[in-house]
Amino acid sequence: MKRTAFACLLTLPLIACSGHTIQRKDGSSSVRSFSIKDLAKSDVDSVVEIHQQEAIASLKALTVKLYRCNPDEWKKSGYASADAATTALFKALPYWHLSPQKDLDWKDLLTQASRWDFPGDRVMAMMNGLLIMNMAAYNHQTEFYLLSELDAQKFYNAARNTEYVAWELATARRDQDGLMLLVSDTPGKKSSSDLSIEREFGKLIGIQDTLAKVIEDKSNRAIRFGVVNAAGTLFLPI
């Protein structure tokens, strides 16, 4: 009898949540499967994981959009398409803590992407830098529990760094003929892809700033406000 009652208690969260899922435009659902490990998570831990998943989704969307606007970039890396290059960039996420990708210098990658004489894949360098920087803010974790320690300052700094990258993407020029990377499928005009990229950057920055405030409130550690030194390309530390 006691075992039955305990089993019922475990299934209550599933029953309570089943009628409140979000159906997205692409047909996917917001429902998350329940795991016994969830019992070791606080509400804040669950919020962090949801925000991390949304941040990764925005990073993936930005990568494929930039590749489609700049097909020469994925060709430099030897991929067959924008989608193939994007998949390759994010393939290590399921085992991120074991991947050598996480140990790359994200500041160096972001700096390379903005150099006028950089010969490589600018989209890969920029988005890899943003991915590693974002994962560093989460201490390179993909699951969070009651004893997980997160620093609000890292998320605040990540938001400011992302703002700088978005500004640089919109303004940095390779030469008088054009931008380092195109953010529009209609050069010289504001297009739907241009606005879409702006929205994704806005979502990513909003996620980082929201988590900074949530964790600041949880930890009672105040955020120190800072500004990226654009002139020297000095990013805030993560």
Average pLDDT over residues 16-27: 56
DSSP 67-127: HHH-HHHHHHTT-SSHHHHHHHHHTTGGGGGG-GGGGS-HHHHHHHHH-TT--S-HHHHHH
pLDDT at 178: 67
pLDDT at 192: 54
What average pLDDT score do residues 213-220 get? 87
Instruction: List, for residues 139-167, the tens digit of each pLDDT value.
Output: 999 988 865 689 999 999 999 999 999 99
Within its chain, how far is the Cα of 5 from the centroid? 41
| 229 three-state secondary structure | strand
Mean pLDDT confidence for 48-55: 95
Paired residues of 23 in beta bridges: 29
The answer, as to whether pTM is greater than 0.75, is yes
pLDDT, one tens digit per residue, over 85-118 is: 999 999 999 999 999 999 999 999 999 998 888 9
β-pair type (173-175, 178-179)? antiparallel
pLDDT at 200 over 60: yes
